[in-house]
Amino acid sequence: MAVSTVYTIQSSLHYSCSISTPGKTQLGFQQKQVVLYSSGKKTGRRGSITCGAEDKTIVIGLAADSGCGKSTFMRRLTSVFGGAAEPPKGGNPDSNTLISDTTTVICLDDYHSLDRTGRKEKGVTALDPRANDFDLMYEQVKAIKEGIAVDKPIYNHVTGLLDPPEVIKPPKILVIEGLHPMYDSRVRDLLDFSIYLDISNDVKFAWKIQRDMAERGHSLESIKASIEARKPDFDAYIDPQKQYADAVIEVLPTNLIPDDNGGKILRVRLIMKEGVKNFSPVYLFDEGSTISWIPCGRKLTCSYPGINFSYGPDSYYGQEVSVLEMDGQFDRLDELIYVESHLSNLSSKFYGEVTQQMLKHADFPGSNNGTGFFQTIVGLKIRDLYEQIVATRASASLVQAKA
């Protein structure tokens, strides 16, 4: 029986998977049928895929509104795994994808089903589910998780058009970031871990003014109008996703300065869900206790208004969580190691690794406050989660091989 065409892809954990149409499998694993996609539509070409059960990509979901720090978080996360994330080489220069040695980050804007003109004609925003193709999103994330390369569409943020697709090969870790990673229950069920960046309205407004006025030349009036236009859809479709997140980074105005709304001083809360597989919440001093700590003094340089940490158990959307909070900012990042030494369950490889990561990216936004600090901690936790999953799969494969 002849094989008409064979496609070979490199999967996530040192195995190769073969897709053939039709014919014998190339490896001695169970065959699976797979539908390939191109330009957002089924090609009608069916074949078989041969992969081991352990040959799966780990999928992380990151949800947040536009301009809430997703890009910076992605750079911190990929740095924890080693190697800078870069756009695909030789591909579309307007690609939204970032690839490093271990991770691939895809932007869920690429699953817009309507271009900018189409959304305007139908009177919908990009936040509206009707402007997005969740069927394609689910099928392609599922395929990548199972070790299958896909032709992912590209939404061009410059032109507002839908560009021709790009090939995404299965990485060890796939991060899907954007507005809707937890909106569709099918996609949500594919996630091995999920994070939500929850920026308060006051802080979000201050950030968007800084970014859109300084970097994009927008007027204050246009920024206000844009926020108000998006708010109903944000409240309806984006914000509710935080109830499904395993970890939430919540950014609020400081409590250290009265009536300071969205200023440079921030209060940041890391809300960590209890009982998540392969994830143990970070704690301060004594796990499960309720603690308020002001570390400033001889071992930490703090100018006005100082720094305040707190930690304790809480309830979030009816679920048990642990909350670590930092209000204020660091004057010297190298002194962060003093705070790090009082935290447990960091999943760091060595003493001072959080501080080292922070110093490495001192020029990133949020590096002197809780946004960068907690993003780095979550990055270490995701690395630990990945290593636990890989170890569990390897152990299961060994047991199966001996059986």
Query: Is 186 within the bounds of a domain?
Result: no
Query: Is 318 within the bounds of a domain?
Result: yes
Contact present, 144 and 166 (Cβ < 8 Å) = no
Query: Is 69 within the bounds of a domain?
Result: no
Please name which of 310, 307, 312, 313 lies closest in space to residue 333, comparing C-alpha atoms: 307
Query: What was the pLDDT predicted at 325?
Result: 98
pLDDT band per the 50, 70, 90 thresholds, residue 90: confident
Mean per-residue pLDDT, 273-285: 96
Neighbours of 323 (CB within 10 A): 19
pLDDT digits (tens, 9 = 90+) for 34-62: 333 333 333 333 233 334 445 689 999 99
Q: In 215-306, where do the E strands start and end?
A: 247-253, 266-273, 283-284, 291-293
Please name which of 344, 330, 335 lies closest in space to residue 372, comparing C-alpha atoms: 330
Q: Which domain does 371 fall in, by range?
A: 246-386
Query: Is 110 within the bounds of a domain?
Result: no
Mean per-residue pLDDT, 135-164: 95
Contact present, 354 and 299 (Cβ < 8 Å) = no
pTM: 0.83
Mean per-residue pLDDT, 292-318: 89
Q: How many residues in total does the chain contain?
A: 403
The count of structural domains within the chain is: 2
pLDDT band per the 50, 70, 90 thresholds, residue 215: low
- Phi and psi at residue 76, in whole multiples of 5°? -65, -45
Query: Is 93 within the bounds of a domain?
Result: no
Q: Which of 30, 50, 70 is the last residue of a domain?
A: 50
Query: Is 184 within the bounds of a domain?
Result: no
Query: Is 82 within the bounds of a domain?
Result: no
Query: Is 86 within the bounds of a domain?
Result: no
